[in-house]
Amino acid sequence: MAHPPTIHFRTCNVCEAMCGMRVAVEDNRVVEIRGDRDDVFSRGHICPKGPAMRELQEDPDRLRFPLRRTAQGFVRVGWDEALAEAGERLAALQRAHGPDSVAMYLGNPTAHGHGAILGANLLGMALGTKNRFDSNSQDANPRIYAALQMFGEATSLTLPDIDRTDYFLVFGANPAASGGSIMTLGDVRNRLAGVRERGGKFILFDPRKTETAAYADEHHFIRPGSDAALLLGMLHVIFAENLYDNGALTDLADGVAELRAIAARFAPERIEGPTGIPAADVRRIAREFARTPRAVAYGRMGLSTSAFGPLSSFLVDALNIVTGHFDRPGGAMFATPAADVVRIARILGMGGHGRFRSRVRGLPEVGGNLPATTMAEEMETPGPGQIRGFVVVAGNPVLSVPNGERIGRALSNLDFMVAVDIYLNETTRHAHLILPPRYALERSHYDLLFHTLAVRNTAKWSAPVIEPPPDTKDDVEILVDLAASLLGKRLSPSPLGAAAERLVGLLNKLGADGLLDVLLRTGPYGDRFLPSSKGLNLEKLKKAEHGIDLGPLRPMFRERVRTKTGKVRLAPPEILADVPRLERFLDEAAAAGLVLIGRRHMRNNNSWMHNVPSLVKGPDRSMLLVHPKDAARLGLTSGTRVRVRSRVGEVVVAMAVTEDVMPGVVSLPHGHGHAAAADTMRVAAGVPGANANAITDDLHVEPLTGTAILNGVPVTVEAADAGTPV
């Protein structure tokens, strides 16, 4: 008689949304995944990526054991041999050429689990290199830098209290497709719809009519890169008409007069042409926003990846603060996570900017990491500090970093490269060793980072639902073992290396879950190791299979604002020094040609989920979107194959004519173009599309953080082959 499946509850780790899953398992195989209706955060919502984890678990292309690259191709190698070789070869490079001769890149999935976060930071300490890179420099560093300048702490990232707001003003974000970004948004559809359902108003500014526009009262097309001007135009109205909250500004902020003087230069009539937003709409929306007691402004990817990412991100928070919509219910608030990684980051000194710079171009570090746009030149340029060895963890920079083809060429010339990844992809094919971790369903899970960015305070730990195959390792085990192997072969001791050795010992003793327990017990809800306490610990969390609700966002000003004066800086000179460049941008806007922006889709996640059949079926989602006016001017029609050129390269893709993009703007999604992985990611190789980062420009960066300008790339578009239909 067949036994009914065993039911497990856990959190999806694919994106930021932290959706709860109900996982049915038979004979150590996942047979079904659906949303967990009782999950305290996501309340039953799940997108197609969650159920697709079953296919990822069984994907025959997913790597299960270590590989070594040889002249005949990749061959299997044992764990002990692979780890020993990796440690020896990395250490040998550092002994011969210094610690900075080895670089490290952390991809986005590294952030989606406590083991990978702890292990990756340990490995970075063990390497002791300044050449550390991560995916934040592709899309988040401007937001992080703005927080550092305003609040004195890079991890003090405000979140919209969407559950209680009555006016949601959104700039360049598409949470309906992304699940939220620096706004962890479980049950995304109901939370977005809830604003209007309770009588509130939802306004969206975006160069594309996105999936999120369906939830908004108003969608306004805006020229890429001009958001900062629009925000200053709104502040102009608010200051000129005395709509600001004087009491809040007096108590909370410095630099009001300086900000007011700058906003005075940006009358709505001045910005109307360059932004595409009528002056009357700017004035109306500014007044509505300021006069609504519970209102919040939020900006994300479109701002961070534009020409003025830090300035735009700063101005979103400034708008909230000036109008009294900061640290109050319904406004911009901070999370209070059970495991307070903000405090841990502060203790470890992980926030900062410009403490060192890249060797070739002199771009600044942010949070201890250099811009990924500098990786290729640091590998190519001879001299002391040249990158000769490379460790990449859960990343595919050939597809995800601007001028990716240049990065691929640079990787092919390295002395040694090791990758921690589940696929042999466009980047890892250059590695000398690949160390694949167990897949997510085979290990425990806690969202150490995204509880810190969530719109409601909750906590949830997930147990493994699948017994892992023999001779496999968790990601944290691989990273700890690699760090230990490296440390054992280094000749020159250092304080950072000594700290890494202590952390190796701690993780070997406690494991990632044991260290998580310490963080929970010493956190804001923790039991402080007191037997009589009713506070939180891991054992209590393990018993709450649907998670524990810790309540709505609450005022956290004193805990999160860490400036010398104890007040928010509304006139940080480092950021406001960029205003003259913005004014030049506005003056030159009329002469601008076609510019490229990206886009997301709920069935994709950057570059790594195209090998899942259920996620790539259906119509082609990789087409270049072109407005009818531009298509007519260029003599192009839907289905035509077109050549898209930029300064650094070109791609050939199919195009679609649509009014969902504004005139002068074309849109191409990132993460596609898997032809180089034809034998190792067989489903992905058959998915249409080109690598958008073959035409984004590694020299076209925002100057304060070195972040790539991915939205607003100058391009030309022409028929590729005399208009032959696809």
Q: Name 32's bridge partners.
A: 24
Alpha carbons 150 and 55: distance in angstroms, whole number = 44
What pLDDT is recorded for position 723?
Answer: 43
Alpha carbons 195 and 361: distance in angstroms, whole number = 45
- C-alpha dihedral, 290 to 296 to 300 to 305, nearest 10°: 20
User: Is the separation of the CB atoms in 443 and 475 below 8 Å?
Assistant: yes
What's the pLDDT tens digit per position in 543-572? 999 999 999 999 999 999 999 999 999 999
Question: How sure is the predictor about 351, in pLDDT bands with cuts at 50, 70 and 90?
Answer: confident
Q: Name 133's bridge partners.
A: 105, 370
Exposure letters 660-683 (e unless 16+ CB within 10 A, then b): bbbebbbbbbbbbbbebbeebbeb
Instruction: Please name the residues in contact with 60: beta carbons below 8 A apart, sequence gap of 6 or more.
Output: none
* CA angle, residues 351, 355, 357, in degrees to nearest 5: 120
Exposure letters 319-341 (e unless 16+ CB within 10 A, then b): bbbbbbbbbbebbbbbbbbbbbb
> Average pLDDT for residues 47-68, to the nearest whole number?
97
Exposure letters 399-429 (e unless 16+ CB within 10 A, then b): bbbbbbbbbbebbeebbbbbbbbbbbbbbbb
Task: Calculate the alpha carbon distances from 347 to 110, 179, 292, 342, 351 in Å.
Answer: 21, 30, 38, 9, 10
> Average pLDDT for residues 107-129, to the nearest whole number?
95
What's the pLDDT tens digit per position in 156-206? 999 999 999 999 999 999 999 999 999 999 999 999 999 999 999 999 999
Q: Is the per-residue pLDDT at 684 higher than 50?
A: yes
Residue 148 neighbours by CB distance under 10 Å: 25
Alpha carbons 601 and 494: distance in angstroms, whole number = 45
What pLDDT is recorded for position 724?
Answer: 39
Least confident of 9-13, 46-50, 503-507, 590-594: 590-594
Least confident of 2-6, 265-269, 651-655: 2-6
User: Rounded mean pLDDT of the chain?
Assistant: 95
Alpha carbons 269 and 248: distance in angstroms, whole number = 29
Nearest to 31 by CA among 59, 9, 51: 51
Q: Name 203's bridge partners.
A: 169, 218
Q: Phi, psi (5° rounding) for residue 305?
A: -105, 20
Using only C-alpha atoms, the chain has a radius of gyration, in whole angstroms, of: 25
Question: How sure is the predictor about 129, in pLDDT bands with cuts at 50, 70 and 90?
Answer: very high
What's the pLDDT tens digit per position in 325-341? 999 999 999 999 999 98
Q: Name 457's bridge partners.
A: 551
Q: Does domain 67-129+371-447+461-546 have CATH number 3.40.50.740?
A: yes
What pLDDT is recorded for position 497?
Answer: 82
Take residue 692 and report the two structure tokens written for it. Answer: 């958008």
What pLDDT is recorded for position 726?
Answer: 32
Question: How sure is the predictor about 2, in pLDDT bands with cuts at 50, 70 and 90?
Answer: low
* CA angle, residues 511, 513, 515, in degrees to nearest 5: 70
Take residue 681 and report the two structure tokens written for it. Answer: 């990611």
Question: How sure is the predictor about 256, in pLDDT bands with cuts at 50, 70 and 90?
Answer: very high
Instruction: Kindly list the domain boundaries of the chain, sorted by start residue.
Output: 6-58, 67-129+371-447+461-546, 142-335, 593-719
What's the pLDDT tens digit per position in 13-38? 999 999 999 999 999 999 999 999 99
Alpha carbons 128 and 102: distance in angstroms, whole number = 9
Q: Is the per-residue pLDDT at 725 higher than 50?
A: no
Tell which CATH classification among 3.40.50.2020, 3.90.550.10, 3.40.228.10, 3.40.50.300 matches the domain 142-335.
Answer: 3.40.228.10
What pLDDT is recorded for position 424?
Answer: 97
What pLDDT is recorded for position 722?
Answer: 52
User: Is the separation of the CB atoms in 646 and 596 below 8 Å?
Assistant: yes
Q: Above pLDDT 90, what percent of the chain?
A: 90
Q: Phi, psi (5° rounding) for residue 538?
A: -65, -35
**Which CATH fold topology does 593-719 show?**
Barwin-like endoglucanases (2.40.40)
User: Is the separation of the CB atoms in 60 and 73 below 8 Å?
Assistant: no
> Average pLDDT for residues 505-530, to the nearest whole number?
96
Question: How sure is the predictor about 343, in pLDDT bands with cuts at 50, 70 and 90?
Answer: confident
Alpha carbons 449 and 340: distance in angstroms, whole number = 9
What is the Cβ-side half-sphere exposure of residue 14, based on CA atoms within 13 angstroms?
A: 26
Please give the single-letter amino acid code of residue 492. Answer: S
**Which CATH fold topology does 6-58 show?**
Phosphorylase Kinase; domain 1 (3.30.200)
